[in-house]
Homo-oligomer: A and B are copies of this chain.
Amino acid sequence: MNTCSSISELQTILLPFRNTNRKIVLVPTMGFLHEGHLQLIRRAKELGDVAVVSIFVNPTQFSPTEDFSQYPRDIERDKQLAEKAGCDVLFIPSNEELYPNGYLTYVDVYEMNSVLEGKFRPTHFRGVTTIVLKLFNIVQPKVALFGQKDAQQSVIVKKMVRDLHLPVTIEILPTVREHDGLAMSSRNVYLTEQQRSDASVLFQSLQFAKKKIETGETNSHRIINEMKTMIEAKKDTAIDYIEIVDSETLQHLSTIEKGKTILIPLAVRFGATRLIDNILITT
């Protein structure tokens, strides 16, 4: 595995692959890799001739009050895990490399960036789309892989790719979960033992919603209310949002219609730790 931190080094490594038209596949991550990331890396290796993994805790997607400086990092462990999963090129740029002094350019997918997560994290998706666009331009992959856990991110990145005609295919892999259903997340290390145990309620509530819809419930409000009751039964929880939306437009659906793919995304705080999860349901 090649490891590099500068864009020019990365270009030198990738040049022979570009010149021979080999298939570059990118997995953009913020590091502190878990099994969800590793499945993306294995898939990248399977799909492409070169699996590139980036590790960059992107400052522009954190607000000043969020956990940028506390975000968990363990580069040595990440290197070992990435290599074992099949990573060919590990790109670990510095902030200065990606946002040098005088940096001014940002991309926005409007409307979609201000609903759901965007209501609570107003500049988050601007940061996400900007860094993803930058990484796409630097790496020039044929395919880029993302996890379904960040559902809104996936929808927005796909929309940006379509709107800007980016020559890359986006593939989304299913959320990888712990034994009790909790979605894997680098932020799970923030949870106390009690919170960690309580947090499985998120998956349970999503499964509950799925069953309700499968057995004919069409009223979103009723489903969401029951999910809220389940989650609020746990101590120290605060629900930022639970919504039922169209899986492509992210538009609110008050009634669940047949033949649609719906997305139920949620964000819930357990003490100071904020977790997100979601489920896709084809009706």
Chain A residues close to B by CB (< 8 Å): 7, 19, 21, 102-112, 129, 133-134, 137-138, 140, 159-160, 163-167, 249
With both chains docked as a complex, state the minimum distance between the C-beta of A100 and any C-beta of chain B, in angstroms.
Answer: 9
Residue of B nearest to A19 (CB): B21
Q: How many copies does the complex hold?
A: 2
28 sampled A-B residue pairs with Cβ under 8 A: A7-B165, A102-B249, A103-B163, A104-B110, A104-B111, A104-B112, A104-B159, A104-B163, A105-B107, A105-B108, A105-B110, A105-B129, A105-B159, A105-B160, A105-B163, A106-B107, A106-B110, A107-B108, A107-B164, A108-B108, A133-B164, A134-B163, A134-B164, A134-B165, A137-B165, A137-B166, A137-B167, A140-B167
Complex contact B165–A138 (CB within 8 A):
yes
**Across-interface contacts of A129 in B (CB, < 8 A):** 105
**Across-interface contacts of A140 in B (CB, < 8 A):** 167
**Across-interface contacts of A112 in B (CB, < 8 A):** 104
Top 5 nearest A-B pairs (CB, nearest first) are A105-B163, A137-B165, A107-B107, A138-B165, A105-B109
- What DSSP secondary structure best describes chain A's contact surface? mixed
Complex contact A105–B164 (CB within 8 A):
yes
**Across-interface contacts of A134 in B (CB, < 8 A):** 163-165
Residue of B nearest to A249 (CB): B102
Residue of B nearest to A248 (CB): B102
With both chains docked as a complex, state the minimum distance between the C-beta of A109 and any C-beta of chain B, in angstroms.
Answer: 5
**Across-interface contacts of A164 in B (CB, < 8 A):** 105, 107, 133-134, 137
**Across-interface contacts of A110 in B (CB, < 8 A):** 104-106
